[in-house]
Structure 1
Amino acid sequence: MRQKAFRVPRVSTSAALAGGTVASLAPGLLPRTPSAQAILTSLLVLIALAVAGLIRMALRSLRFGVRQLVRLRVVAAVAAILLVGAAMGYAEHWQNELRAAMGVGGIGPWYWAQWLVWTVPLVVVVVLIARGVRWVVRRLGRVRSVAAGAALLVAAQLVIVPSIVEWRKSAYASANSYLDPGLAQPDSPARSGSPVSMASWPSLGAEGRKFVAGTPARTVRVYVGLNSAPDLDSRVALAIRELERTGGFERHHLVVTVPTGSGWIDGDAAKGLDTRFGGDVALAGLQYSDAPSWVTFVFGRHAAEESARRLFQAVEQRISTMPHPPKLYIYGQSLGALGGSSVFRDDADEDARTCGALWAGPPAGQVHHGRATVLANASDPVVRWSPSLLWRAPDLTGTRPDAPVPQWFPVLSFLQTTADLLGALNAPSGHGHRYGTDQGTVLPDC
């Protein structure tokens, strides 16, 4: 039996493999695990292979002599191997520079072995699936293939997509209701969720319970969860009653803390605020969603803005009637920063209505500044990411230079920053989208 001779890949295939791999290994903002790097590499290689396939089809339709490039196959393959090798060497150098700046161990040959073990199967499996689909299309013919595709599309719209949406909603609600057995219900009357609180411990949600159970105990912490009251109006009213019950309005400082999408308020920020005011402070937060921040940012950003606006206005109105009102501040991280900033018309309005504001890691820096303090790590992809990154370098004014910053390239920097979003919270403290107690200690005063 004759064995099939090894065939050198087409020129376009070698170019696609090299181009996709090199693009995926371009300098990013954060250290990456081998699996994360492999997923990005596989994705870009597959996109490059698809583009190469479309170009070949177009050239054939124009009767361009593609076969004339056969003699260049070996040259293209060798050039691709050398290019990928050089890209790997530079990527290792960049990754180790980032890791040294962030106090993380460097990478070496074992990293690339794992990367290869992940990348090759991912690419091969998807290519085989694509070939299988192409075979089926040829067997069915154009008309029946279009009909089958339309049926699958309708099924996806009517059954698959709604099922996935409901499943995710159920998962978010389940995570929000989870009662951590290692978390003790606060017994201090100065905390929501305590036995005397009007907002019950179970109703606060997973993130709300973490917030009110945090230390130190001398700070008033008010939190109202999605299940604490049936609608936004009643949740805002409950938050005001909780501030009155806990003595929050009697403290010299009151901070409206706007949570992220899942209801999370950074415990380090709360500790920093306690340190900043020597414990003479009340923190008040209102949950507006149980979904992750990125989901809320895409599908429900209005909820973050509306809840922040309503709570701040209610607090503002209440203290306006007091002869000796507390100083009023506002704080938000990530989506919470966008929600908090939306309370105000502009910088002047923010300065006039608050004693101070602090925004940590605001997406694309889209917040009012004025006298506000904006904390933004140069390595934070949330701060940098924007569709405009496709064609314009980001404005890094005011960011903290916590790590080396990669040079901007059109499209490529957008892809790399998008990939870094997935690991933004996995960075060491003080890097990426992770901020420390300085979120509270550097809050400005009036």
Structure 2
Amino acid sequence: MSDTVTTPATPRAPLLARVHRAVAARLTWEWPPVRTTLAVGVGTAISLAPGLLPRTAAAQSLLTVLLVLLGLGVARLVRVAAVRVAAGDAYPSSARTRRLVCTATAAGVLGAAVYAGVWQNTLRSAMGRAPAGPGYWASWLIGSILLSVVLALVAIGVGRALRRIGWSRLLVMTVVAGLPLALFGMPAVVGWGDQAYAAANAAVDPNLVQPVTMTRSGSTESMVSWSSLGREGQRFVTAGPPGAVHVYVGLRSAPDLAARADLAVRELERAGGFDRSHLVVAVPTGSGWVDARALRGFGDRFGGDVAVVALQYSYAPSWATFVFGRHAAAASAQALVAAVEQRLATMDRPPRLYLYGQSLGALGGSAVFAGAADQNHRVCSALWAGMPGGGSPAPGSRTVMLANSSDPVVHWSLDLLWRRPDLTAARRDAPTPPWLPVASFVQTTADLLGALGAPPGHGHRYDIDQGTALPDCTPAR
């Protein structure tokens, strides 16, 4: 008789019980920590605060997620600091406290969303747009959730990678990878950007036809070739009333600023610009753009008895030029005005001289003068539309400043963090949101991206009053 060793069967009940407890632990709802709830709630509420312009659901979702992530990051830093100071959780909270905070925060976010819906439709009504219905807010909520999930997964993956690599190795890898990037990568990116902007400037709009009249640059009689005008220059010389003189000198029309200013004066002479009664120096935006509505306004203001001259100083968009080369706008305006003034000084009956600029062009044009007395002595009047950071005309100067109350470019300033904007010089084209510390700055910064998407007369878009509102000379020259 052989001995048989039998292994006792493992009881199934304890195993199932352990699985059940593990699953139950995963599925059991726990109220989130107070700091997490407040971070999500405050970030969402700030993203829903009243803004200056209507916003798409996608843009609103992106803003909400970014602010929530920023809030969570701040909450994390506060927790780490508290743990280090107190050697433990410095602010423990009971389940009841968490529940109350979560409920109150949810109610506050719901109230903010309701108010945001009312405000969005108030803005849309003022700007002639269709109201935002339930589908808008459903898209916002779904988009916010999906984007949050994606970013959370990315953050989890990055966190795991950091734990495996270690902070010391990460620092070494960052230095090793960052040094070549700083030395070679960034210059390559900047060069690529310059080439891309230059290529966009050189792109020909097939809808534009080369002018044949001698009063426009780029014609067969012009000293400025059609191709050298660039995209914005070609739009400039083909816009406005037929009888007006339009002179434009692009970056590729002459080798340097002095040569371009001299060419502009000679081109004005050739086109008959100095024979007109009114001469407007228009300072373009960063890309060389001059608003066609302003040109129409000059036509309404002066008929065909006007010449408008502009000098391009950059290929890049206004925001890039503002950040990296705003001095170019002022230098270009000063060079052109000086060259024109030198020619006018030789004439017995010179035309009346005006200055106009929009956005970065307004900033550059206003730098021409040392003050009100200098401006009144040198030019008939000036008009600035959408001046970055706003402002008021110098006392005693013949200047008109156009500023829409819904224009975020006019509002934007670091002072907006702690001080309400000065809107005394702005025209109320739409309801103005109440000023809120920090929240108003965040909303205005977000609205910068859609400033040019508003209808004419709203946001950063101005109408023909850019030309018709030019002040008269007092006294007449």
Provide TM-score, normalisation by structure 2: 0.91
Q: Which residue of 1 aligns with 2:66?
A: 43
Partner of 1:256: 281
Q: How is 1:300-319 mapped onto 2 (pairs within 5 angstroms)?
A: 300-319=325-344
TM-superposed deviation, 1:126: 2.2
Are 2:399 and 1:357 aligned?
A: no
CA contact (8 A) 2:240 2:299 kept: no
Shift of 1:44: 0.7
- Structure 2: 5+ residue runs without aligned partners? 1-18
Runs of 4+ in 1 over 6 A off after TM superposition: none
1:432 to 449, 459, 464: 459
Q: Which residue of 1 aligns with 2:15?
A: none
2:439 equivalent among 385, 394, 412: 412
Question: Are 1:11 and 1:69, in contact at CA under 8 Å, matched by a contact in 2?
Answer: no
Is the Cα–Cα contact under 8 Å of residues 82 and 89 in structure 2 kept in the other structure?
yes
Matched, 1:34 2:57: yes
After TM superposition, list the pairs within 5 Å mapping 1:138-177 onto structure 2.
Answer: 138-177=163-202
Letter in 2 for 1:410: P
Counterpart Cα distance in 1 of 2:299 and 2:344: 21
Deviation, 1:57, is 1.3
Paired amino acid for 1:50: G
Measure the CA separation in 2 of the matches of 1:323 and 1:372: 26
How far residue 335 of structure 1 moved from its aligned partner, in angstroms, is: 0.5
Larger Rg computed on CA atoms:
2
1:397 aligns with 424
Q: Answer yes or no: is the 8 Å Cα contact 1:337–1:367 preserved in 2.
A: no
Structure 1 residue 202, shift from structure 2 partner: 0.7
The letter for the 2-side match of 1:359 is W
1:445 is the counterpart of 2:472: yes
Counterpart in 2 of 1:371? 398
In 2: Cα distance, 1:166 partner to 1:367 partner: 38
Amino acid across the alignment from 1:46: L
Query: Once the 2 structures are TM-superposed, how far is the Cα of residue 368 of structure 1 from its aligned partner?
Result: 4.6
TM-score by length of 1: 0.97
Q: What per-residue deviation string (whole Å, max 9, x for no partner) do you get for residues 131-187 of structure 1?
A: 222222211223212212322332432344333222221211111000011111111
Q: CA deviation at 1:367?
A: 6.7
1:380 is aligned to 407
1:338-369: CA deviation from partner (whole Å, max 9, x where unpaired):
11110000122111111111111111125753
After superposition, the C-alpha distances for 1:278-301 in whole angstroms (9 at most, x for unaligned) are: 110000000000101011111101
Q: Does 1:327 align with 2:346?
A: no
**Once structures 1 and 2 are overlaid, which stretch shifts more, 198-207 or 64-73?**
64-73
Q: What do you get for the CA RMSD once the two structures are aligned?
A: 1.5
CA contact (8 A) 1:373 1:442 kept: yes
Unmatched runs of 5 consecutive residues or more in structure 1: none
Q: Distance in 1 between matches of 2:328 and 2:392?
A: 17
Cα distance in structure 2, aligned partners of 1:410 and 1:156:
38
Q: Distance in 2 between matches of 1:71 and 1:154?
A: 51
Is the Cα–Cα contact under 8 Å of residues 376 and 383 in structure 1 kept in the other structure?
A: yes
In the alignment, is the contact (CA less than 8 A) between 1:338 and 1:366 conserved in 2?
no
Q: Please say if residues 346 and 368 of structure 1, whose CA atoms lie closer than 8 Å, have aligned partners that are also in contact.
A: no
Q: Which residue of 2 aligns with 1:239?
A: 264
Contact 1:14 1:80 in 2 (8 A): yes
1:17 and 1:254 map into 2 onto residues whose CA distance is 57
Distance in 2, Cα, partners of 1:9 & 1:159: 46
Sequence identity percentage: 55
Aligned-pair CA distance for 1:66:
4.4
